[in-house]
Chain A
Amino acid sequence: MALDIDFIAHNSNLKNFNPNFKVLISFIFILVTLIANSPIVSLIIFAATAILIILIAKTPIKDYLQFISIPLLFSIITCTFMLFFLGSGEIIYNTGIFNITIREDSLNLAYSTFLRIVACFQALGFLTLTTPIMETFNVLSKLKIPKIFLEISMLMYNSIFIFLKQFELMTNSQKTRLGYNGVKNSYRSLGLLVSNLFIKSLNRSEALQNSLDSRCYGGEFPVYEK
């Protein structure tokens, strides 16, 4: 089952905290991390957001770990490459294979980049794990982000859940018939899955259009003031 971030946000302890502040805090954290460009600042931001997310917002630790695991994995891969293949400074470790070495400046670059990514991501995570998406949209629209962007994001956001659900249903049905038994079958099944998802998505978009038109949609989403 996919991680339902919005569900976590709806049950967060900070759900009723002013969303303007949450957006502000999150952006300040990101800006500070990027401008300071110092591993220590990144670490402090990382610790601060972790405390906010786990202790104050009371996000379940399991959900939190699942949430950061994917970006963590990506940044580890990226930074590993940086570590071995960049830099021109003093060699501090030689692996002995193909002359691949770790240099002093590449080590610095890799770990400071890693900390920056993780800190920024967590600052953003603080926002997404404590603020239901529609409140974030509200704040963004107050900030005069063009309406068209918000409308497209809103529809995309909604479609993601339907898409994931469909994806899950279809992979399960393929697995039931051993569609992923072996590399060759897996390739074939994946191809079928992707093309069918595409057709399904087209059908769904037509159905959505019909239902929007049935409710007098005029090309622009009206704003409901709560």
Chain B
Amino acid sequence: MKIIEAKDIVYKYPDGTKALDNINFAVEKGDMVALLGPNGAGKSTLFLHFNGILEPSSGEIDVDGEKLNYKKKSLLRVRQFVGIVFQNPDDQLFAPTVEEDVAFGPLNIGLTQEETKKRVKDSLRKVGMEGFEKKPPHHLSGGQKKRIAIAGILAMDPKVMILDEPTSGLDPKGASKILKLLYELNAEGMTIIISTHDVDLVPIYAKNIHVIKDGKIIKKGSPHEVFDDVSVIRKADLRLPRIAHLSEILDKQDHFKMSDSYPLTIGEARKSFMEFIDK
């Protein structure tokens, strides 16, 4: 079942330039999807359509099988259903303490203080930030702020979580912690959509990839379907994962080919290398 679907979305800036040009984008329930694209391709703009912050110039958005309408009441429902974690946590964290910030969403929905307290506790535990309840967000590190921002969305109990560049600006350890967390949430049934240009990480977690360039989706499919089409990847100002790039060079310059399509992750590379040796 499609949990989020964008049909023929066009979004124009006031000056008439098209930020999004006929976007068709669908996500199955329980999927973990990556939206891959260079800076300024329209990733964030598309995301802001999914919870009704932006209204398309033409086309429609379906959330959970229902057409999104822009009345106040249904917007509240949609924003609870689809949570967006913004790229810069400083834009999102505004309350003087961590717990107040996480409590912001649940209280806005109208939950009681008791229920909110429970949600704050649960979501801070999920992101591994227990014990930081009373701290002011601006005293935390980038990775910690990101996790608090995620907790603030989790506390609203959304069914879909959208993250705009969740690993940008984080150190490698912070980035892999965030991804591990997202992996766990996905395993619990949360549908997750991530925008990124980190091509090395994408094949590790995403089941489905959409490539966006200049406001258009130019390729979609499984990691192998997308990365096997090297010309599209390069056209979108992206590159192959390092390990695939190495295999490409080995193939083209040294005529050494381990498998039919280039491995995208270290795990895959190891597997096909071992198979090659055994042959």
| Chain B positions within 8 Å of A213 at CB level | 53, 79
Are the C-beta atoms of B108 and A215 separated by less than 8 Å? Answer: yes
CB distance from B30 to the nearest CB of A (A): 22
Are the C-beta atoms of B105 and A157 separated by less than 8 Å? Answer: no
Are the C-beta atoms of A162 and B96 separated by less than 8 Å? Answer: no
Q: Report if B241 contacts A (CB, 8 A).
A: no
A10 to B76, CA, bound (A): 36
Q: Report if A74 contacts B (CB, 8 A).
A: no
Are the C-beta atoms of A215 and B153 separated by less than 8 Å? Answer: yes
Q: Report if A185 contacts B (CB, 8 A).
A: no
Label chain A's interface by main secondary structure. helix
Within 8 A of B (CB), among A207-226: 207-208, 210-218, 221-226
Q: Report if B107 contacts A (CB, 8 A).
A: yes
| Chain A positions within 8 Å of B109 at CB level | 216
Q: Choose among A161, A207, A224 the residue that contacts B103 (Cβ–Cβ < 8 A).
A: A224
| Chain B positions within 8 Å of A215 at CB level | 79, 104-105, 108, 152-153, 156
A211 to B44, CA, bound (A): 12
- When each residue 75-100 of chain B gets 1 if its CB lies under 8 Å from chain A and 0 otherwise, what string results? 01001100110101011101111011
Q: Choose among B53, B92, B100, B153 the residue that contacts A224 (Cβ–Cβ < 8 A).
A: B100
| Chain B positions within 8 Å of A210 at CB level | 48, 53, 86, 91
Q: Which of A26-34, A40-48, A81-89, A129-137 contacts B (4 or more CB under 8 A)?
A: A129-137
Q: Choose among A154, A157, A212, A216 the residue that contacts B156 (Cβ–Cβ < 8 A).
A: A216
Q: Report if B136 contacts A (CB, 8 A).
A: yes
| Chain B positions within 8 Å of A226 at CB level | 99
Which residue on chain A has the smallest CB distance to residue B155? A215
A212 to B93, CA, bound (A): 9
Q: Report if B195 contacts A (CB, 8 A).
A: no
- For chain B, the bracket of interface size reads 20 to 34
Q: Report if A175 contacts B (CB, 8 A).
A: no
| Chain B positions within 8 Å of A216 at CB level | 76, 79-80, 105, 108-109, 156
Are the C-beta atoms of B139 and A7 separated by less than 8 Å? Answer: yes
A150 to B133, CA, bound (A): 21
Are the C-beta atoms of A207 and B108 separated by less than 8 Å? Answer: no
Which residue on chain A has the smallest CB distance to residue B105? A215
Are the C-beta atoms of A224 and B96 separated by less than 8 Å? Answer: no
* Chain A contact residue count (CB 8 A cutoff): 31
Are the C-beta atoms of B100 and A134 separated by less than 8 Å? Answer: yes
Are the C-beta atoms of B96 and A207 separated by less than 8 Å? Answer: no
Are the C-beta atoms of A222 and B99 separated by less than 8 Å? Answer: no
Which residue on chain B has the smallest CB distance to residue A206? B91
Q: Report if B113 contacts A (CB, 8 A).
A: yes
Q: Report if A155 contacts B (CB, 8 A).
A: yes
Are the C-beta atoms of A134 and B97 separated by less than 8 Å? Answer: yes
Are the C-beta atoms of B107 and A222 separated by less than 8 Å? Answer: yes
Are the C-beta atoms of A224 and B107 separated by less than 8 Å? Answer: yes
Which residue on chain A has the smallest CB distance to residue B80? A216
Q: Choose among A137, A157, A224 the residue that contacts B113 (Cβ–Cβ < 8 A).
A: A224
Are the C-beta atoms of A134 and B96 separated by less than 8 Å? Answer: yes
Are the C-beta atoms of A155 and B53 separated by less than 8 Å? Answer: no
CB distance from B108 to the nearest CB of A (A): 4
Are the C-beta atoms of A214 and B51 separated by less than 8 Å? Answer: yes
Q: Report if A181 contacts B (CB, 8 A).
A: no
Which residue on chain A has the smallest CB distance to residue B93? A158
- When each residue 47-89 of chain B gets 1 if its CB lies under 8 Å from chain A and 0 otherwise, what string results? 0100101000000000000000000000010011001101010
| Chain A positions within 8 Å of B86 at CB level | 207, 210-211, 214
Additional pairs, 5, CB under 8 Å, beyond known A214-B51, A217-B108 = A7-B139, A210-B86, A215-B79, A215-B153, A218-B108
19 residue pairs of the A-B complex, CB under 8 angstroms, read: A134-B97, A154-B96, A158-B94, A158-B95, A158-B138, A204-B90, A207-B86, A207-B91, A211-B84, A211-B91, A215-B105, A216-B105, A216-B108, A221-B104, A222-B104, A222-B108, A223-B107, A224-B104, A225-B113
Per CB-CB distance, the 6 closest pairs between chain A and chain B, nearest first, are A222-B107, A134-B96, A216-B108, A207-B91, A215-B105, A224-B103
